[in-house]
Amino acid sequence: MSKRILMVCLGNICRSPIGHGIMAEISPNSFVDSAGTGSFHIGSPPDQRSIQVSQDNGIDICHQSARQFRSSDFTKFDHIFVMDRQNYRDVIAKANHQDNIDKVELLCEAAGMGMRPVPDPYYGGDEGFKNVFDLVKTACHRIAEQWKENYE
C-alpha cells in the first residue's frame, strides 16, 4: 500500500525528521517527507541528537534537509501528520479548503493515542530525544497497522 506522507514539526530538525525516518522504514512503498512550520532551519540537517537516536535504532536520517511547509504540500500528500496543536494551527492556516484540512492530523491522535502532543526535545537532553523517538515509533507503527487493517 503506497501513500504520500508528510511529517511536520516546528523547525524540521528534531521530531519530524525522526517521524520521516521511522515512517519511511515501516512503509517502504510510500513516499515520506518532512517539513517545519518555521523557516529558521531551512537547508539544515536534522539535529545531531535526532540523527544519533535514529542511528541507535537502525534508521539513517543524515540525508534529510530541513524545509518549510508550503500550501502546495496539500496537493502532494495524502496524510499530513503534525506533532502538536500549534503545528496543526499553523498548517491549517495555509489550507484553501476543507479537503486540505481533512488531511492534517495530530500524530498521536491519528494513532489512537489521544490528543497528546509529541513534545519538542530541542532544549532537553538526550533522554528527551529517546522518549520522542519511542513515542513517534509507537505512533507510526499504530498508524501503519490501522492502514493494513483497512486494506485487508
Told to judge if 120 belongs to the known catalytic residues of this protein, a careful annotator would answer yes
Query: Which residues are registered as beta bridge partners of 82?
Result: 8, 106
DSSP structure string for 80-132:
EEESSHHHHHHHHTT-SSHHHHHTEEEHHHHTTS-S------TTS-HHHHHHH
Told to judge if 9 belongs to the known catalytic residues of this protein, a careful annotator would answer: yes
Q: Which residues pair with 106 in a beta bridge?
A: 82
Q: Which of 33, 84, 120, 140 is catalytic?
A: 120
Given the residues 9, 14, 108, 140, select the one marked as catalytic. Answer: 9
Q: How far is CA 51 from CA 2, 21, 70, 71, in A?
A: 26, 10, 24, 28
Q: Which of 15, 33, 49, 140 is catalytic?
A: 15
Catalytic, 33? Answer: no
User: Which amino acid belongs to residue 144?
Assistant: A
The grid coordinates of residue 9 equal: 514539526
Residue-wise over 55-78: b if at least 16 C-beta within 10 A, else e?
eeeebebeebebbbbeeebbeebe
Positions annotated as catalytic residues are: 9, 15, 120
